[in-house]
Amino acid sequence: MKLVIPSIHYLAILPVLIFFGAALALVLASALARGKVPLGVATLTVIAAAAASIVANYFQWRCVAKAGASVTIAHAVVLDDFSVVASGVIALSVIMTALVAHDWAIRERVSGVEFHILALASASGALLMTQANDLIVIFLGLEILSIGLYVLVAFDRHRSTSSEAALKYFLLGGFASAIFIYGAALVYGATGSTNLSTISYFLGTNVLLHPGLLYAGGALLLVGFAFKIAAVPFHLWSPDVYQGAPTPVTGLMASIVKVGAFAALIRVLISALGTQLDTWRPILWILIVLTTLVGASLAVVQRNVKRMLAYSSINHAGFILLGVWAGTIRGTAATLFYVITYAPIVVATFAIVTLIGGVGDEHHSIERYQGLARRQPWLGAALAVLLLSQLGAPLTTGFYAKFAVLASVVDAGGGALALIALISAAIAAFFYLRWAMALYSDDGPEADRIVVPRATAVVIGFGVAVTLVFGIWPGPLVTLAQHATVLFTP
Amino acid sequence: MNVPAAWYLVLAAGLFGIGAFGLLTRRSALIMFMCIELMLNAVNLTFVTFSRTLNDISGQAIVFFVMVVAAAEVTVGLGIVVAVFRRRSSTSVDELSEMKG
């Protein structure tokens, strides 16, 4: 019997290799140097690796432009513009998080080198998810992403909430993974393959006499994803984990998990199960209504800003799901546009929350923000802009992102759904504005001036610049997102 | 004796259900952890059964991936459980209530 090794297109998996290779190199260096690798060197390694990955994305883009989308490694991994753009955003989020984590590790006197190693390894899982064309590859990406994050959440040894959050995240994350893979097993039984293209072809050419197995499998896959993106009613872990995790980790989770999970969700629902659109749409409808409304309403009653941002991110997850619900190319482009603009904003927001949290990472009540803009105008204004962008105010990227998903939903005949989402946005506006007003109030406590370290300042500045520049001039990003979805569905 | 494939599937579904039920009702982190393992093994049994009925080897190959993932989860999960236990001398999740809201 001859063993056939599938051919590998190395350019396609280059970003994953770079990220994982850099993580291994740092582990090795840290072992050889007996744990005395300087933090700065590790931070630079992360930035270099992520930058190299973005360069690789550029060559991938050129390759796709020339040769079209392609699949490799026995059809398990896909290279198309969609994966290229999503990978680029993940690499960017990793750079931003690395800079914030650098200053955070110095302030908290924890070992930042391990932080960087875990962040790189996790991000390689997210990158794999954006390229996965097989349910098993999605599962592997999900696990690589999650296992690294479980440890990162527990990273702050000085604080008991950190390990408490990690245990919750781990138990519920493991539960979600088991549900996801059981769904994959049932879909495999119903269609005879775990490959997304093969599933799509099978469903397009056969009529299932007993679709129960497929429906059960699809539903379980959806539940698994809903856990990961924290859609209501599978969101219960999210506020606790967001609150307990070290703040830079929260930023990382909010960005790369969303990008990776939504990229994979789109591939599963639209590429593989596109023929079953009428079946999964009503389920997604309920999920979106619950996610947007519950996320926005519960955010209003929070006093802890990290919990507030957790519920806000639940609300955003509902909005991103809108584009998936549309099920059209336009909806997919809108979803992609939403995640590429949301990721830098949320990392920058958590960068500011990291600073205000102070030593010990514990001062996260909204009272700490009273009069911040009066004491430190630049920092306050930056936070106000980031909040307004999440709210969806005009002249920020948040506005176009919300507009694009809503337009795609109305286009696909979901007027009522768009209306409910808008109502939730109005509720969400209340707490974003309350927070922004607090920044400019006069009766703030006389707190010490918050020192903004240089690396974190760069991250905040970048986040604000992205949201303002592309808020006023969204053309390039819109073109990018649209272009990225033209060659979608291999 | 030839056991029909459906029986294996029912057994796997039963194991998965027991795992999920245990995870939702038990309060000890270690037992919840064992329930996740039980669920993953139920998935493995499902994959192998379908692999036989479909006459397709990939289902059996997938089982190895799931096993590796389960092993990796054990490593990290036990580490976290130990970290929590050191702080509180208990693995009951009911005592994990510092965060509310």
pLDDT tens figures, B23-82: 988 888 889 989 999 999 999 999 999 998 988 888 899 999 999 999 999 899 999 988
Q: Quick one: average pLDDT of A323-343? A: 89
For the stretch A428-486, pLDDT in tens is 998 899 888 888 887 766 677 888 888 999 999 999 999 999 888 888 888 888 877 76
- Nearest residue to A30 (alpha-carbon basis) of A18, A15, A45: A45
Per-residue pLDDT, averaged over A332-349, amounts to: 92
Subunit contact B80:A302, Cβ cutoff 8 A = no
First to last CA, chain B: 57
CB-closest option in A163, A243, A301 to B87: A163
Distance of CA A486 to the CA centre of its chain: 22
Q: pLDDT at position A28, please?
A: 92
* B interface test, pick of A137, A163, A186, A250 with most B CB neighbours within 10 Å: A163
Residue A142 lies in a domain: yes
Q: What percent of chain A has pLDDT over 70?
A: 98
Inter-chain CB proximity A161 and B32 less than 8 Å: no
Domains and CATH numbers, chain B: 5-89 (1.10.287.3510)
ipTM of the complex: 0.94
Inter-chain CB proximity B46 and A189 less than 8 Å: yes
Counted across chains A and B, CB pairs separated by less than 8 A come out at: 117
Number of helices (H) and strands (E), helices first, in chain A? 20, 2
Is residue A36, in this structure, part of any structural domain at all? Answer: yes
Asked whether residue A68 is assigned to any structural domain, the reply reads yes
How far, in whole angstroms, is CA A433 from its chain's centroid?
Answer: 24
Provide the residue range defining the domain that includes A143. Answer: 14-486
Of A161, A319, A125, A162, give the one whose Cα is nearest residue A230.
A319
- pTM check: above 0.95: no
User: How far, in whole angstroms, is CA A285 from its chain's centroid?
Assistant: 21
Which alpha helices (DSSP H) does A232-366 contain, by range? 237-244, 247-252, 258-266, 277-300, 305-326, 329-357
The answer to which of A72-76, A163-167, A189-193, A409-413 has the lowest mean pLDDT is: A72-76
Tally of domains in chain A: 1
**A7 located within any domain:** no
Nearest-neighbour CA in chain A from B92: distance (Å)? 11
Kindly determine whether residue A163 and residue B65, on different chains, have CB atoms separated by under 8 Å.
no
In a domain, residue A161? The reply is yes
Structure confidence by residue, pLDDT tens digits, A124-157:
999 999 999 999 999 999 999 999 999 999 988 8
Structure tokens at B74: 């054990």
pLDDT of residue A32 exceeding 80: yes
Q: Do the beta carbons of residue A356 and residue A363 sit within 8 Å?
A: yes
CA distance A472 to chain B (A): 37
